[in-house]
Structure 1
Amino acid sequence: MCTLEARGWVATHVHSYEESVYILDGEAELSTGEGVFKLRAGDYGLIQVALPHSWRASPSGDARWAQMMAPQPRSRFGGDTYFVDDPPQELKGQVIDVRDPRTRSFGHIEPSNMDVSRQTQDQLAVSASMRTALLVYSGITVKMMLDGELGAQHSTMFMVQYDPNGVAGQHDHPFEETYLILDGEVDATFDGERYRMAAGDIGFAGVGCVHGFSNPADGAVRWLETQAPQPPARYSYRFARDWDYLRKQTGVTT
């Protein structure tokens, strides 16, 4: 989680890792080689490895965002951050325009984008395609935000929504996941430990951590999720239920 106070700024710098950012509150200008972008709540973007960039908060208030760094910064190298010269010219900040084909590393998402009934072309800000597609199953809706198609190499970032009674069974992955709860509450289990997570809570599942979620409330729960490294093309999920079934079928005990 990052907070930049009103009128605060971070000089031009580069990292040896990529960053995925999602604006939670306030407004900030992010300057990159592609231009100066005025980011507001709901905007997200990718800062690629070694891309010079700087931050400046609005004078009207603090800016706060969630940030994913992959691979992890190395403390023995001072966090892998290196300050460099400013760009040769300062451009005027531009609001993220998701319809502009030149907007290559940024996007915007609203809670309404998770509503299956509002996915017709006349209700979408951008042309309908796989970039606007929702993955819907067992009361769960997933909307990809940052992945390889937008240039990410080490991580993914996406929005997840569980409807009432939505459930994801116990499973694990060959990668790490983080969860930032934005709205509602969810019952979560991590390696047998149960938690009730609410807005503002953050969860983490490391490689091999068996975890699952269920929505016990009458309303939807929504969270921001990241994965690193990026999932493999196959076998990214290992559901305990499936392997328990095999154990029963074969009669093998351990």
Structure 2
Amino acid sequence: MATKESIYFNGMEVRFKLDEHDTNKQMTMFECIIDAGAKMPVPHYHESFDEAIYGIEGVVTYTIDGKETEVGPGDSAFVGRGIVHGFENRTNERIKFLAVITPGIFGPAYFTEIAAVFNAGGAPDMGKIKDILMRHGLVPVMSK
């Protein structure tokens, strides 16, 4: 498999290792590298796929179904379909984790589209962000 390009936005770099084309849509696998202090813009859940996380460097704090879970090197976490979650880097150092998605219906297109909105300059258009999330099977959950 050829090396895939990195996608960078909002303090997060994504490097796909396997995408839907490599696995006949059975799974996707990517590294997330998160800058110090960065977090996902909005908690969300996945309609049609599960996600497993494996810590490589540093500690990422996931909130899964309302419970905080720290994932460090060698640790793992599972986020099933329909479970609200989000993550952030609360540390002063860069962190890295591996994400595996099954089935492989979620791939680089989502991150490329989101990056285009965040990297356009100025405040991101949250309406566009929500549309992209929904189109790719991620349902945003706004705080009350």
The normalised TM-score by structure 2 is 0.72
**SS class of match (1:150):** coil
The counterpart of 2:35, out of the listed 138, 157, 163, is 163
**Superposition deviation, residue 235 in structure 1:** 3.2
Distance (Å, rounded) in 1 between the aligned partners of 2:23 and 2:64: 31
Gaps of 5+ in 1: 1-103, 108-130, 249-254
Cα drift, residue 134 of structure 1 = 1.6
Aligned to 2:17: 145
Q: Deviations over 1:91-121 (max 9, x none)?
A: xxxxxxxxxxxxx4xx6xxxxxxxxxxxxxx
Amino acid of the residue matched to residue 231 of structure 1? I
1:102-181 → structure 2 map (5 Å cutoff): 104=1, 132-168=4-40, 169-174=42-47, 175-181=49-55
SS at 1:159 equivalent: strand
Instruction: Answer yes or no: is 1:199 the counterpart of 2:73.
Output: yes
Matches within 5 A, 1:34-49: none
Query: Is the CA contact (8 Å cut-off) linking 2:6 and 2:14 kept in structure 1?
Result: yes
1:40-98 deviations in whole A, cap 9, x for unaligned? xxxxxxxxxxxxxxxxxxxxxxxxxxxxxxxxxxxxxxxxxxxxxxxxxxxxxxxxxxx
Residue 90 of structure 2 corresponds to 216
Report the equivalent of 1:236.
137
1:225: which partner in 2?
Answer: 99
Give 1:153's aligned amino acid.
K
Query: Are the counterparts in 1 of residues 25 and 105 from structure 2 also a CA contact under 8 Å?
Result: no
Deviation at 1:224, TM superposition (A): 0.8
Q: CA RMSD in A?
A: 2.0
CA contact (8 A) 1:146 1:152 kept: no
How many residues align? The count is 115
The structure whose residues are more often strand, as a share, is 1
- 1:142 and 1:235 map into 2 onto residues whose CA distance is 16
2:38 corresponds to which letter in structure 1? G
Deviates more, 1:134-143 or 1:170-179: 134-143
Identity across matched positions, percent:
28
Q: Which has the higher contact order (CA 8 A, sep 6+)?
A: 2
Shift of 1:239: 1.3
Counterpart of 1:143, as a letter, is R
Any unmatched runs of 5+ in structure 2?
Answer: 110-134
Q: What whole-Å deviation, never above 9, does each CA across 1:182-228 have from its counterpart, x for those lacking one?
A: 11011110000012221111000000010110101111110111001
